[in-house]
Amino acid sequence: MNNENYDNAVKVIKSAILKAQYEAVKSVNEKQLLLYFAIGKYISANTRNGIWGEGAIDAISKKLDRELPGLRGFSGRNLRYMRTFYEEWSILDTVPNSNLETAVAKIDSYIIELPMLSSQTVPLTAFLSVAYSLHLLIMSKVKDLDERIYYINKSAEYNYTRTELETAIKNDNYHTQGALPNNFQRALSSNAQAFKAISTFKDEYLLDFINTEEIDIRDKQDIDERVLENAIVHNIKKFILTFGKDFAFIGNQYHLDAFGVDQYIDLLFFNRELNSLVAIELKTGEFKTAYLGQLSGYLSVLDKFERKKHENPPIGIILCKDMDKSFVDFVINDYTKPMGVSTYGDISNKIKQCLPSIDDLKRIIENKDE
């Protein structure tokens, strides 16, 4: 048996092992969710209707700990979380009784594929593939049903970690994703590709790892943009996490040399889901129509000289400090290359917008002294 045959054998066996491990983990997660859902229903039925007295949950938790030494995850607090998990998703309940033994016996009947609850649905596989800790995070941070379903679907699709899910919720992906001004439906030949592009990019990105105030106090715009670019490159992992999981960084100041003309793209990425190069131009001021012409030229060169045969057309994004969405929507559709315009900010500026001005603070202090 030669080395090539060994390599093939290792590849086959390795693939089988990884698949079996994935299926085992997935099965454990499903059973855990269903068990917690059943226990949550049982606790809800007995505490909300006054059957158990005050302190019952903590007493049950302590007794469980004594009778099952080493048992983890069933503290009083966690039992209350299970109750909340059931009550928040009680619409999924298909077992018409509250007897725990019956519930566990029929555990696979507890959660079925969601009906059309609102504008979205949760496939059974997506709901059951999301870790319990992520369900708790979504329930604690998100109250709207459509929004919860969105984050469950995204968690399942991209296999979010807790940190990634927290980032998605903090960046308000539900409300900002797909809202950026763009010409994707006109410029991309495939409706499916256009929909993917619209869903991939947001109209605003919170670059909370960059102090944009320091950039704004500089004098020259080209220096500002290079400072912003360097800050993004220095924090490229965080930037990719902000933009999305399927982005791979190719380079900054990416050199294009077509017809003897040197051009440089601020940031160039490749997106696996879109199967496209993504060129990002950074602008520290408000949007200007000239930016579209500049970016369109870059995309033409990328399309002609850089794109591989199996790839889709490159997409361009202008990332600027501010824009008038209605104006951008109007002018961008005159261009044939697929482009969108997003804005950026940071958390500190968001917070400052909610704080009183210095003058207001002075008035408050003066009135208090009186």
pLDDT tens, residue by residue, 139-188:
999 999 889 988 998 888 878 889 889 988 987 888 877 778 999 988 99
Domains and CATH numbers, the chain: 3-170 (no CATH), 175-353 (3.40.1350.10)
**Starting from the edge strand earliest in sequence, which strands make up the sheet with 339-345, in order?**
204-206, 339-345, 315-320, 276-282, 261-271, 247-258
3-class DSSP state for residue 16?
helix
How is residue 83 written in tokens? 């109750």
The CA distance from 312 to 280, in Å, is: 17
Q: How many other CB atoms are there within 10 angstroms of residue 98's CB atom? A: 17
The CA distance from 315 to 299, in Å, is: 7
Quote the pLDDT of residue 217: 43
What region does 130 belong to: left with phi over 0, alpha with psi -120 to 50, or beta? beta
Find the Cα–Cα–Cα–Cα dihedral 176, 177, 182, 183, rounded to 10°. -150
Quote the pLDDT of residue 235: 80
The CA distance from 55 to 213, in Å, is: 52
The whole-angstrom distance between residue 215's C-alpha and the CA centroid of its chain comes to 27
Buried/exposed 145-159: b ≥16 CB within 10 Å, e otherwise: bebbbbbbbbbbeee
The pLDDT profile of the chain, 370 residues, written as one tens digit per residue, is 556 654 665 566 566 666 665 566 667 888 888 888 888 888 888 888 888 888 888 988 888 888 888 778 889 999 999 999 999 988 777 656 545 555 544 444 444 444 444 445 666 778 888 999 999 999 999 999 889 988 998 888 878 889 889 988 987 888 877 778 999 988 998 877 887 888 888 888 877 666 555 544 444 555 567 777 887 877 877 787 788 778 998 998 999 988 889 999 999 999 998 999 999 999 888 999 999 999 999 999 999 999 999 999 999 999 998 999 999 999 999 999 999 999 987 544 444 444 445 565 556 555 655 5
Q: How far is CA 122 from CA 54, 92, 146, 314, in A?
A: 36, 11, 10, 32
Quote the pLDDT of residue 151: 92
The DSSP-derived string for 167-181 is HHHHTTHHHHBT-S-
The DSSP-derived string for 109-126 is GS-------SS----HHH
Residue identified by tokens 């790892």 is 209
